Amino acid sequence: MSNLNEVYQNIEKACQDSQRQSKDVTLVAVSKTYGIDAIEPFILEGQKTFGENRVQEAVEKFIPLKEKYPDLKLHLIGPLQTNKVKDAVALFDVIESVDRLELAEKLAKEMKKQGKNIPCFIQVNTGKEPQKSGCFPEDVEKFTQSCLDLGLNVIGLMCIPPKDEEPSAHFAFLKKLAKKVNLHELSMGMSADYTIAVEQGATFVRVGSALFGPRG
Ligand SMILES: *Cc1c(COP(=O)(O)O)cnc(C)c1O
Protein backbone atom coordinates (compact mmCIF):
# COMPACT_ATOMS: atom_id res chain seq x y z
CA MET A 1 0.00 0.00 0.00
CA SER A 2 1.22 3.52 -0.73
CA ASN A 3 2.12 5.84 2.14
CA LEU A 4 -0.76 8.09 1.12
CA ASN A 5 -3.27 5.24 1.27
CA GLU A 6 -1.92 4.13 4.60
CA VAL A 7 -2.25 7.60 6.13
CA TYR A 8 -5.82 7.93 4.78
CA GLN A 9 -6.67 4.50 6.23
CA ASN A 10 -5.30 5.50 9.61
CA ILE A 11 -7.36 8.70 9.52
CA GLU A 12 -10.45 6.67 8.59
CA LYS A 13 -9.87 4.28 11.50
CA ALA A 14 -9.32 7.14 13.96
CA CYS A 15 -12.58 8.69 12.74
CA GLN A 16 -14.46 5.44 13.25
CA ASP A 17 -12.99 5.06 16.74
CA SER A 18 -14.18 8.54 17.68
CA GLN A 19 -17.55 8.62 15.87
CA ARG A 20 -16.37 11.20 13.40
CA GLN A 21 -16.72 11.42 9.65
CA SER A 22 -13.53 11.31 7.60
CA LYS A 23 -14.87 14.00 5.27
CA ASP A 24 -14.45 16.39 8.21
CA VAL A 25 -10.68 15.80 8.30
CA THR A 26 -8.36 17.26 5.67
CA LEU A 27 -4.90 15.77 5.20
CA VAL A 28 -2.31 18.48 4.58
CA ALA A 29 0.66 16.74 2.94
CA VAL A 30 3.72 18.58 4.23
CA SER A 31 6.17 18.66 1.34
CA LYS A 32 8.85 20.96 2.80
CA THR A 33 12.41 20.08 1.75
CA TYR A 34 11.05 17.76 -0.98
CA GLY A 35 11.26 18.74 -4.62
CA ILE A 36 8.67 18.77 -7.38
CA ASP A 37 9.73 15.26 -8.46
CA ALA A 38 8.76 13.88 -5.06
CA ILE A 39 5.55 15.92 -4.83
CA GLU A 40 4.06 15.19 -8.24
CA PRO A 41 3.40 11.47 -7.64
CA PHE A 42 1.18 12.41 -4.68
CA ILE A 43 -0.78 14.81 -6.88
CA LEU A 44 -1.21 12.07 -9.47
CA GLU A 45 -2.43 9.78 -6.68
CA GLY A 46 -5.15 12.32 -5.92
CA GLN A 47 -3.73 14.48 -3.12
CA LYS A 48 -4.70 18.14 -3.51
CA THR A 49 -3.77 19.83 -0.24
CA PHE A 50 -0.12 20.51 0.59
CA GLY A 51 1.74 22.38 3.32
CA GLU A 52 4.99 24.31 3.13
CA ASN A 53 6.81 26.18 5.90
CA ARG A 54 8.98 28.62 3.91
CA VAL A 55 7.56 31.18 1.50
CA GLN A 56 10.54 31.26 -0.88
CA GLU A 57 10.77 27.47 -1.17
CA ALA A 58 7.02 27.26 -1.73
CA VAL A 59 7.13 29.93 -4.44
CA GLU A 60 9.79 28.00 -6.36
CA LYS A 61 7.93 24.69 -6.22
CA PHE A 62 4.27 25.60 -6.22
CA ILE A 63 4.06 28.39 -8.78
CA PRO A 64 4.88 25.83 -11.49
CA LEU A 65 2.87 23.06 -9.79
CA LYS A 66 -0.25 25.23 -9.46
CA GLU A 67 0.04 26.24 -13.08
CA LYS A 68 0.00 22.59 -14.05
CA TYR A 69 -2.59 21.52 -11.45
CA PRO A 70 -4.88 24.52 -10.80
CA ASP A 71 -6.97 22.82 -8.10
CA LEU A 72 -4.10 22.40 -5.62
CA LYS A 73 -4.55 24.00 -2.21
CA LEU A 74 -1.43 25.21 -0.44
CA HIS A 75 -1.19 25.89 3.31
CA LEU A 76 1.51 28.03 4.90
CA ILE A 77 2.40 26.23 8.14
CA GLY A 78 5.64 28.00 9.11
CA PRO A 79 6.45 31.38 10.65
CA LEU A 80 5.71 34.31 8.35
CA GLN A 81 8.00 37.35 8.23
CA THR A 82 6.20 40.57 7.40
CA ASN A 83 8.48 41.19 4.38
CA LYS A 84 7.18 37.94 2.84
CA VAL A 85 3.49 38.79 3.26
CA LYS A 86 3.02 39.92 -0.33
CA ASP A 87 4.39 36.68 -1.82
CA ALA A 88 2.52 34.60 0.76
CA VAL A 89 -0.84 36.21 -0.03
CA ALA A 90 -0.21 35.75 -3.75
CA LEU A 91 0.54 32.02 -3.44
CA PHE A 92 -1.09 30.38 -0.42
CA ASP A 93 -4.73 29.32 -0.07
CA VAL A 94 -4.64 29.04 3.73
CA ILE A 95 -2.31 30.70 6.24
CA GLU A 96 -1.99 28.65 9.43
CA SER A 97 0.59 30.71 11.28
CA VAL A 98 -0.97 34.07 12.17
CA ASP A 99 0.46 34.81 15.60
CA ARG A 100 0.95 38.53 16.17
CA LEU A 101 -0.83 41.81 15.56
CA GLU A 102 1.80 43.33 13.28
CA LEU A 103 1.51 40.32 10.97
CA ALA A 104 -2.29 40.32 11.10
CA GLU A 105 -2.35 43.99 10.12
CA LYS A 106 0.02 43.46 7.18
CA LEU A 107 -1.96 40.41 6.03
CA ALA A 108 -5.28 42.26 6.15
CA LYS A 109 -3.85 45.18 4.20
CA GLU A 110 -2.20 42.97 1.57
CA MET A 111 -5.29 40.79 1.12
CA LYS A 112 -7.38 43.90 0.46
CA LYS A 113 -4.81 45.05 -2.06
CA GLN A 114 -4.83 41.68 -3.85
CA GLY A 115 -8.61 41.33 -3.57
CA LYS A 116 -8.42 38.15 -1.49
CA ASN A 117 -9.74 36.95 1.83
CA ILE A 118 -7.60 33.91 2.55
CA PRO A 119 -8.73 31.63 5.40
CA CYS A 120 -6.37 31.92 8.39
CA PHE A 121 -5.58 30.00 11.53
CA ILE A 122 -4.23 31.55 14.67
CA GLN A 123 -1.17 29.63 15.80
CA VAL A 124 -1.16 29.03 19.54
CA ASN A 125 2.00 28.28 21.53
CA THR A 126 0.18 25.88 23.86
CA GLY A 127 3.39 24.91 25.67
CA LYS A 128 4.51 28.55 25.99
CA GLU A 129 7.93 27.58 24.65
CA PRO A 130 10.14 30.68 24.34
CA GLN A 131 11.77 29.61 21.04
CA LYS A 132 8.47 28.72 19.37
CA SER A 133 6.19 31.08 17.51
CA GLY A 134 2.50 31.31 18.28
CA CYS A 135 0.32 33.48 20.42
CA PHE A 136 0.16 32.58 24.12
CA PRO A 137 -3.05 30.84 25.24
CA GLU A 138 -4.09 33.69 27.52
CA ASP A 139 -3.90 36.11 24.57
CA VAL A 140 -5.96 34.05 22.12
CA GLU A 141 -9.33 35.61 22.88
CA LYS A 142 -8.14 39.19 22.46
CA PHE A 143 -5.95 38.41 19.44
CA THR A 144 -8.74 36.53 17.66
CA GLN A 145 -11.02 39.52 18.11
CA SER A 146 -8.33 41.88 16.79
CA CYS A 147 -7.90 39.70 13.69
CA LEU A 148 -11.65 39.59 13.09
CA ASP A 149 -11.84 43.37 13.55
CA LEU A 150 -9.16 43.73 10.85
CA GLY A 151 -11.41 41.72 8.52
CA LEU A 152 -9.27 38.57 8.47
CA ASN A 153 -11.11 35.36 7.67
CA VAL A 154 -10.09 33.48 10.83
CA ILE A 155 -11.38 29.90 10.70
CA GLY A 156 -9.54 28.09 13.49
CA LEU A 157 -6.58 27.47 15.76
CA MET A 158 -3.33 25.65 15.06
CA CYS A 159 -0.70 24.26 17.45
CA ILE A 160 2.59 22.36 17.52
CA PRO A 161 2.90 20.68 20.94
CA PRO A 162 6.30 20.57 22.73
CA LYS A 163 8.39 17.60 21.54
CA ASP A 164 8.83 16.06 24.99
CA GLU A 165 5.23 16.23 26.18
CA GLU A 166 2.11 14.14 25.64
CA PRO A 167 0.47 15.74 22.60
CA SER A 168 -3.05 14.78 23.64
CA ALA A 169 -3.17 17.26 26.53
CA HIS A 170 -2.23 20.03 24.08
CA PHE A 171 -4.80 18.90 21.51
CA ALA A 172 -7.54 18.88 24.15
CA PHE A 173 -6.44 22.31 25.32
CA LEU A 174 -6.49 23.74 21.78
CA LYS A 175 -9.98 22.36 21.25
CA LYS A 176 -11.17 23.99 24.46
CA LEU A 177 -9.63 27.32 23.43
CA ALA A 178 -11.25 27.15 20.00
CA LYS A 179 -14.64 26.52 21.55
CA LYS A 180 -14.18 29.51 23.83
CA VAL A 181 -13.52 31.82 20.88
CA ASN A 182 -16.15 30.14 18.70
CA LEU A 183 -13.78 28.87 15.99
CA HIS A 184 -14.50 25.53 14.35
CA GLU A 185 -11.34 24.38 12.61
CA LEU A 186 -8.45 22.72 14.44
CA SER A 187 -5.08 22.17 12.75
CA MET A 188 -3.20 19.72 14.94
CA GLY A 189 -1.32 16.45 14.60
CA MET A 190 1.81 15.54 12.63
CA SER A 191 3.33 12.21 11.52
CA ALA A 192 3.90 10.95 15.06
CA ASP A 193 0.48 11.83 16.46
CA TYR A 194 -2.09 12.58 13.75
CA THR A 195 -4.39 9.70 14.72
CA ILE A 196 -4.49 10.98 18.30
CA ALA A 197 -5.24 14.45 16.96
CA VAL A 198 -8.11 13.14 14.81
CA GLU A 199 -9.59 11.33 17.81
CA GLN A 200 -9.45 14.65 19.66
CA GLY A 201 -11.21 16.64 16.97
CA ALA A 202 -8.56 17.78 14.45
CA THR A 203 -10.13 18.99 11.20
CA PHE A 204 -6.72 19.43 9.53
CA VAL A 205 -3.70 17.18 10.15
CA ARG A 206 -0.25 18.17 8.85
CA VAL A 207 1.69 15.06 7.88
CA GLY A 208 5.15 15.14 6.31
CA SER A 209 7.61 12.33 6.98
CA ALA A 210 4.96 9.59 7.15
CA LEU A 211 4.23 10.41 3.51
CA PHE A 212 7.52 11.58 2.03
CA GLY A 213 10.01 9.76 4.26
CA PRO A 214 12.48 11.25 6.76
CA ARG A 215 13.89 14.69 5.92
CA GLY A 216 17.67 14.90 5.59
C1 LIG B 1 7.30 19.88 9.26
C2 LIG B 1 5.99 20.22 9.87
C3 LIG B 1 4.96 19.26 9.97
C4 LIG B 1 5.11 17.83 9.51
O5 LIG B 1 5.97 17.13 10.35
P6 LIG B 1 6.16 15.54 10.23
O7 LIG B 1 6.60 15.14 11.59
O8 LIG B 1 7.18 15.31 9.18
O9 LIG B 1 4.85 14.97 9.87
C10 LIG B 1 3.76 19.66 10.51
N11 LIG B 1 3.56 20.93 10.95
C12 LIG B 1 4.52 21.87 10.89
C13 LIG B 1 4.23 23.23 11.38
C14 LIG B 1 5.77 21.55 10.35
O15 LIG B 1 6.71 22.50 10.29
Ligand 1 and 175: CB distance under 6 A: no
pLDDT in tens, 48-61: 999 999 999 999 99
- pTM beyond 0.85: the answer is yes
Q: Distance between CA 42 and CA 203 in Å, rounded?
A: 21
The DSSP-derived string for 104-125 is HHHHHHHHHHHT---EEEEEE-
- Report which protein residue has its CA nearest ligand 1's atom 11: 206
Mean pLDDT in residue range 105-124: 98
Whole-number pLDDT of residue 215: 87
Ligand 1 and 206: CB distance under 6 A: yes
Ligand 1 and 53: CB distance under 6 A: yes
Give the Å distance between the CA of 113 and the centre of ligand 1: 31
Beta bridge partners of residue 204, listed in sequence order: 26, 187
The DSSP-derived string for 191-208 is TTTHHHHHHTT-SEEEE-
pLDDT in tens, 67-100: 999 999 999 999 999 999 999 999 999 999 999 9
